Amino acid sequence: MKSREELIQDYIDNVLSAEDKRGFDILYENDAEFRAELRMQEELTEVLGRRLSSGEKTLRASLVEAETTHRKGKRISWKQWLIPLAAAACILIVVKFVFFQSDTALYKLPEMQSEVVRGNQGNDAHDYERAVEAFNAKDYRKSTSILLDLYQTDQTILQYQFYLGLSLIGEKKFDEAISYLSPLADGESVFRQEANYYVAVILTESGRIEEAKKRLSRIEQSSKIYDKAQKLLGKIK
Amino acid sequence: MHNDQKYIQFLLQNNGEGIQHIYRQFADKVVALICRNSGTNDDGFDILQESLVDIYHMAKYKDFQLTTSFESFLLLVCKRKWLNELKKRKRKEVTNVDNHVFDIEDDSHTAYMEHMVLVEKENILMELLDSLGERCQEIIKRCMVSKNQEKIATSLGLTYAYLRKKKSECMAKLGEKVRAHPFFKSNN
């Protein structure tokens, strides 16, 4: 004879035998405590099942990562970063002037055009203009933040996605930038040619020269970015 | 739909960049709030993380819609969580708490109350599960995420019949703990 607890679990898991079902029914009919226990166990099972397969663990990993990044950003004082920054700037200047005198133009991000996207949609249009302002002032952190919001609001507007990718390049977040630009580069939109070019720039920066060449060779002659693409191709060959 | 609903989507989609954005926008405000109320920076970040997880559960389980700004809602959840934490630490007598900071009986917030109480209840259940013996925890956790209990029995080196028996004993133990917990006593 099974215990009350076993009958309850067998019922919840739908594995009650015909014989046990009779015992279960008798208890259910005549015992209020049994019914209350069954209700509670059903609720526990529902909550546990939901919580244990909720994906909370993955979310926590992202939260920890975001917290670490945020706190790291706060903790570094100006004294700590000033010297390495100055050193890095000197190296960069030397490298740029000695080795890559003409690369600046090839890597330069275009100006973001001020315009109304798909009809004037109030807040979105206003935010887009703020993004234009920040992007053109090279405040890429700010433009990324605004463009990300816009992109999340409407992922069908590819213009948001394109400039978000470029803004991330401005922030030197190349992995993230490529995740936004690659679908455009592989797609059929008006951003295809330019997206291919900037994906190639990222690939070049990452030392993935062969992939960069492939991207650049896809750019059509009729494209306004074709000349730049050819120059970059010549540079990396 | 409230414009700030996007923050909820960031959590639901586990959007890395979106979550970074949430931290950039709101972390300092939450940490400052907790620090002003007898907490430390670490407390602030812990409360923020736990509150974001709570919001995730609220949104995942039910069709949760923001009726205020995300910031206002997040601060409300954080305040409530911190108050519960202070109670847990038996530090109700702390003197350095802002006046009205824990006054959460605002009309605009009552709509959220049901969600918050539900999540708190579930959080307590998960804590109670973690207070069971390791074997019970393992059996319950595995049986709840997979329906194939014969396979679970094999992987745990048990017979199917014994697994069923153990599962019912463990669930009964959990039920006892739930009944004995002050939260459930006072909410029944």
Using DSSP's 3-state secondary structure scheme, residue B148 falls into coil
A108-137: average pLDDT: 78
More confident site: A29 or A95: A29
**Percentage of residues of chain B with pLDDT beyond 90:** 65
- What sign for the dihedral angle of Cα A73, A78, A83, A87? positive
CATH architecture of A112-236: Alpha Horseshoe (1.25)
More confident site: B23 or A54: B23
Residue whose C-alpha is closest to residue A146's, from A175, A117, A174: A117
Q: Are A151 and A183 in contact (CB under 8 A)?
A: no
Q: Do A62 and B19 touch (CB under 8 A)?
A: yes
A67-79: average pLDDT: 74
A71: pLDDT strictly greater than 50:
yes
A135-164: average pLDDT: 87
**For residue range A31-42, what is the model confidence (pLDDT) as tens digits?**
999 999 999 999
B101: pLDDT strictly greater than 80:
no
A205-221: average pLDDT: 87
Tell me which amino acid residue B12 is.
L
**Percentage of residues of chain A with pLDDT beyond 90:** 36
Query: pLDDT value at position B11?
Result: 95
pLDDT bucket at A125, cuts 50 / 70 / 90? confident
Q: Do A6 and B164 touch (CB under 8 A)?
A: yes
Looking at CA atoms only, how far is residue B34 from chain A in angstroms? Answer: 16
List, as ranges, residues 42-71 from A with C-beta within 8 Å of B.
44-45, 47-56, 58-60, 62-67, 69-71
Residues of chain B found within 8 Å of residue A15, distances taken between Cβ atoms: 164
What is the helix (H) or strand (E) element at residue B136, kind and residue range? Answer: helix B134-145
More confident site: B93 or B136: B136
Class for the domain spanning B5-121: mainly alpha
Chain B's closest residue to A66, CA to CA, is: B20
CATH 1.25.40.10 residue window(s) in chain A: 112-236
Chain A's closest residue to B167, CA to CA, is: A9
Chain A's closest residue to B50, CA to CA, is: A60
Segments making up each domain of chain B, as ranges: 5-121, 131-186
Mean pLDDT check: name the lowest of A174-188, B55-69, B93-107, B159-173: B93-107
**For residue range B102-151, what is the model confidence (pLDDT) as tens digits?**
554 455 567 788 888 899 999 999 999 999 999 999 999 999 988 899 99
Q: What angle do helix axes A158-170 and A123-136 make, rounded to 10 degrees?
A: 30
A116: pLDDT strictly greater than 80:
no
- Cα separation, A219 vs A225, in Å, equals 8
**For residue range B50-85, what is the model confidence (pLDDT) as tens digits?**
999 999 999 988 778 888 899 999 999 999 999 989
Query: pLDDT value at position B94?
Result: 47
Residues of chain B found within 8 Å of residue A67, distances taken between Cβ atoms: 23, 27, 45, 48-49
**Percentage of residues of chain A with pLDDT beyond 70:** 87
More confident site: A82 or B74: B74
pLDDT bucket at A171, cuts 50 / 70 / 90? confident
A45-63: average pLDDT: 92
pLDDT bucket at A195, cuts 50 / 70 / 90? very high
pLDDT bucket at A192, cuts 50 / 70 / 90? confident
pTM: 0.59
Query: pLDDT value at position A188?
Result: 81
Query: pLDDT value at position A173?
Result: 85
Query: pLDDT value at position B128?
Result: 96
Residues of chain B found within 8 Å of residue A13, distances taken between Cβ atoms: 149
Q: Are A228 and A194 in contact (CB under 8 A)?
A: no
In DSSP notation, B16-51 reads HHHHHHHIIIIIHHHHHHHHTTT--HHHHHHHHHHH
CB nearest to B168's CB, from A8, A55, A176: A8
What does the mean pLDDT of chain B come to?
87
Give Dmax (Cα) for chain A. 92
